[in-house]
């Protein structure tokens, strides 16, 4: 597509529930990134895919967070047993894979855990 | 690990005033540097980037940034701001050597008044 698409745009869930956030990157971008942005903060790195594999998952806060990209295109960020502290805007971005390539960001998914 | 500092959290200017937003990073090796902008209600967009060559980089909408290696800085400038420049501005760094992970600063909220 023309841009990075993220669905849903908003998600409200109860504490303890499981959620999935979807990202559809720009066609031809082999690199895909997930970031989390809390109020008043800059985006915080979570995980980066090169193709189907997670090249760097050092930003995932704990084992409740998991992400997949099975066919090297669409990615899903999965959060188990959600906590109120998980409330944030989850951003997806994609890029070409050369060093210094700028990202194209999606509009994000605003997750609220109540 | 690299970090990025943006010293000005909120800046208010009148139209036609000159703008300079500070950005300092901590990393001793080769870096790629970026400024992203987020207009109200929109997603993050790349404003400009530096990865080699001329340390004075020109971006979209009349913005420029200067990489000063000795000061670990990449300040954003615009000679004359417009009301439409009201947005949040994020500085980001990618440490050279592999991968394309960005570390973002906390952002500067710019408000331009008529």
Nearest residue in B to A55, CA atom? B99
Q: What is the pLDDT of residues B58-72, one digit of tens each?
A: 999 999 999 999 999
Residues of A with Cβ-Cβ distance to B5 under 8 angstroms: none
CA distance A39 to B109: 12
- Minimum Cα–Cα distance from B102: chain A residue: A45
Query: What residues contact B70, with CB distance under 8 A and at least 6 apart?
Result: none
- Intervals of chain A under pLDDT 70: 1, 99-100
Picking from B105, B95, B75, B40, the residue whose alpha carbon sits closest to that of residue A42 is B105
- The encoded tokens of residue A91 equal 């951003």
Please indicate whether, in this complex, the C-beta atoms of A100 and B51 are within 8 angstroms of each other. yes
Quick check: B25 pLDDT over 90?
A: yes
pLDDT at residue A81, as a whole number: 98
pLDDT at residue A100, rounded to an integer: 65
For the stretch A6-22, pLDDT in tens is 999 999 999 999 999 99
Please tell me whether residue A91 adopts helix, strand or coil conformation: strand
Residue B52, φ and ψ in degrees, nearest 5: -175, 170
What does the pLDDT look like over B73-101, one tens digit per residue? 999 999 999 999 999 999 999 876 556 78
């Amino acid at each position: 597509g023309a841009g990075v698409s993220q669905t849903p745009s908003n998600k409200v869930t109860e504490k303890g529930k499981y959620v999935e956030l979807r990202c559809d990157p720009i066609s031809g971008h082999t690199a895909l990134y997930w970031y989390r942005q809390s109020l008043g903060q800059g985006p915080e790195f979570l995980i980066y895919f090169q193709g189907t594999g997670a090249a760097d998952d050092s930003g995932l806060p704990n084992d409740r967070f998991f992400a997949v990209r099975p066919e090297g295109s669409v990615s899903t960020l999965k959060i188990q047993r959600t906590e109120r502290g998980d409330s944030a805007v989850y951003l997806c971005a994609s890029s070409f894979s050369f060093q210094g390539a700028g990202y194209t960001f999606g509009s994000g998914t605003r997750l609220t855990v109540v | 690990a690299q970090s990025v500092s943006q010293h000005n959290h909120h800046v208010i200017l009148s139209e036609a005033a000159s703008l300079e937003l500070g950005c300092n990073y901590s990393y001793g090796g080769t870096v790629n540097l970026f400024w992203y902008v987020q207009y109200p209600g929109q997603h993050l967009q790349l404003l400009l980037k530096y990865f080699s060559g001329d340390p004075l980089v020109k971006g979209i909408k009349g913005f420029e940034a200067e990489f000063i290696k000795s000061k670990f800085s990449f300040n954003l400038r615009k000679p004359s701001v417009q009301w439409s420049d009201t947005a949040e501005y994020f500085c980001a760094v990618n440490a050279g050597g592999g991968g394309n992970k960005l570390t973002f600063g906390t952002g500067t909220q710019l408000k331009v008044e008529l």
